[in-house]
Amino acid sequence: MDRRNVMTIGAAAAVLAMAGTFSAPAIAQQKLVLKATDVHPLGYPTVEAVVRMGKKLEAATNGRLSIQMYPSMQLGGEKEMIEQAQIGALAFARISVGPMGPIVPELNVFNLPFMFRDTAHMEKVIDGPIGDEMLKKLSDHPKANLIGICWMNAGTRNVYNSKHPVRTLADLKGLKIRMMGNPVFVDSMNALGGNGVAMGFDQLINAMQTGVVDGAENNYPSYASGQHYRYAKHFSQTEHLMIPEILVFSKKTWESLSAEDRALITKLGKEAQKEQRQLWYDAEKAAIKQMQDNGVQIVKIADKKPFQEAVKPVWDKYGKDHAGLIKRIQDVK
Ligand code: BDP
């Protein structure tokens, strides 16, 4: 080996050493701001849980990773949020399972009316093996292009309208009720005797104001924080749906992350699931108070049996391919 070659090898080694010392950590240090969005405003439990998650992420990575939250439908309604996450225009979207049903069929089981016996049952399902399995089903789905990070509570959904109190199925007759964009919900409302109208959450206030719909259905915090009582003050505890929510992550962005960063986000997601739950209970209480302060009549449904009977055809139509999963959910005690 002549001297020139030795020098060349030496120089190459020096370059490699420099690359090892400076360039690789420089790449690792590159800051990444992960965009997140939610239909709800700052302070709402789902939003707050993700904001807190962002602070933890920032602390754990010395500021390398952070979350920037765009609340209050700043990036559009849920449909737009899902589409943006799918193409990687944003990283996190906190969405209801509602609009995911048509994409991942198994998830539609959570969208069946009166699926869960009560909150404890729903929580046990999402916290347990079925919950993990459903997140995996979403993450593995070839067309969803999303990673399921964690679940969040969203209480029960209840019908509200501007016309009159709903106490029985007969009271729903002729009422135009906005439902989330998924045929299972329109079919459910129609089975209950009302007229289900599918539209985005972002169009709801306008639709109530102009009388395109007489009302909608949602949980207490959504109704109160959106001040829906200004347009529909008859609120009935139909509790016909109990749909958990999911924090999803863009698969495109996920694939660009290191295994460590993925593991960190997964871990913080599990913590967010727990934290959001307490925030949720507090928000439900505050929402009921806000409703009472604003003169909302919260109507109790004395007999829910007829409501449960009425949606049987919806179960036959949407549940028939998932009998095994439905049975496993029902067997969770
Ligand atoms: C709220 C959910 C939100 C949905 C909204 C709706 O938190 O994700 O977009 O209902 O009715 O409860 O569309």
Detail the DSSP E strand segments found in 63-181.
Answer: 65-70, 92-96, 146-152, 157-161, 176-179
pLDDT, average across residues 164-174: 98
Q: Is 82 in a helix, a strand, or coil?
A: helix
Same domain, 121 and 211: no
Using a pLDDT cut of 90, give the percent of the chain over it. 91
For residue 9, tell me if it sits in a domain: no
Same domain for 276 and 176?
Answer: no
Kindly report the average pLDDT of the chain as a whole number.
Answer: 93
262 and 144 share one domain: yes
What is the Å distance from ligand 1's center to 140 Cα?
24
* Mutation choice for ligand 1 from 158, 218, 220, 240, CB with most ligand atoms inside 8 A: 218
Task: Tell me the pLDDT tens digit for each residue of 102-136.
Answer: 999 999 999 999 999 999 999 999 999 999 999 99
Burial of 53 (0-12, 13-18, 19+ CB in 10 A): buried
Dihedral sign, Cα of residue 270, residue 271, residue 272, residue 276 = positive
| Residue 103 to residue 95: CA distance in whole angstroms | 13
Q: Strand 297-299 relative to strand 234-241: parallel, antiparallel, unpaired?
A: parallel
- The CATH code of the domain that includes 304 is 3.40.190.170
Tracing tokens 């964009």 back to the chain, one arrives at 181
Helix (H, G, I), strand (E, B) or coil at 299: strand
Enter the tokens of residue 75.
Answer: 């990036």
Per-residue pLDDT tens over the stretch 241-266:
999 999 999 999 999 999 999 999 99
182 CA to centre of own chain: 14
4 has a pLDDT exceeding 60: no
Alpha carbon distances (Å) from 272 to 51, 136, 247, 265: 10, 18, 10, 10
Query: Average pLDDT for residues 201-226, to the nearest whole number?
Result: 98
Same domain? For 231 and 302 the reply is yes
Q: Could you give the angle at which helices 119-127 and 259-293 cross, rounded to 10 degrees?
A: 170
What's the CA gap between 314 and 324, in Å, rounded? 17
Burial of 60 (0-12, 13-18, 19+ CB in 10 A): middle
Residues 40-93: tens digit of each pLDDT: 999 999 999 999 999 999 999 999 999 999 999 999 999 999 999 999 999 999
Sign of the alpha-carbon dihedral angle for 288, 290, 296, 297 = positive
Residue 80: the pLDDT is: 96
* Section 222-226 average pLDDT: 98
Residues 135 and 195 in one domain: no
| Residues 72, 184 share a domain | no
Residues touching ligand 1 (Cβ under 6 Å) are 39, 78, 95-96, 154, 180, 201, 218-219, 222, 245
> Ligand 1 centre from 200 Cα, in Å?
9
Take atom 1 of ligand 1 and give the residue whose Cα is closest.
Answer: 222
> What pLDDT shows up at residue 25?
52
Atom of ligand 1 nearest to the CA of 217: 11
The pLDDT tens digits of the residues spanning 293-303 come to 999 989 999 99
Residues 168 and 50 in one domain: no
Provide the 3-class DSSP secondary structure of residue 97.
coil
Q: Whose CA is nearest to atom 7 of ligand 1?
A: 96
Q: What percent of the chain has pLDDT over 70?
A: 91
Centre of ligand 1 from the C-alpha of residue 201, in Å: 7
- Distance between CA atoms of residues 106 and 100, nearest Å: 10
Res. 28: pLDDT tops 80: no
Q: Pick the residue with more confidence: 150 or 26?
A: 150
Report the number of distinct structural domains present in the chain: 2
Rounded to an integer, what distance in angstroms lies between the CA atom of residue 177 and that of residue 18? 65
Nearest to 160 by CA among 113, 112, 219: 219
pLDDT of residue 27: 54
| pLDDT for the residue 297 | 87
Sequence-distant (6+) residues with CB within 8 A of 50 are 36, 38, 67, 69, 92, 94, 247, 272
Indicate if 97 and 69 belong to the same structural domain.
yes
Distance CA 205, CA 209 (A): 6
Residue 272: CB atoms within 10 A of its CB come to: 27
Probe target for ligand 1 pocket from 78, 158, 208, 242, with the most ligand atoms within 8 Å of CB: 78
Do 202 and 261 share a domain, yes or no?
A: no
Q: How far is CA 44 from CA 121, 154, 282, in A?
A: 23, 11, 10
Structural domain of 208: 157-243+287-328
Q: What is the pLDDT of residue 221?
A: 98
Read off the tokens for 112. 């069946």
Both 62 and 127 in one domain: the answer is: yes
Nearest Cα residue to atom 2 of ligand 1: 96
Q: Which of 23-32, 47-56, 144-153, 286-295 has the lowest mean pLDDT?
A: 23-32
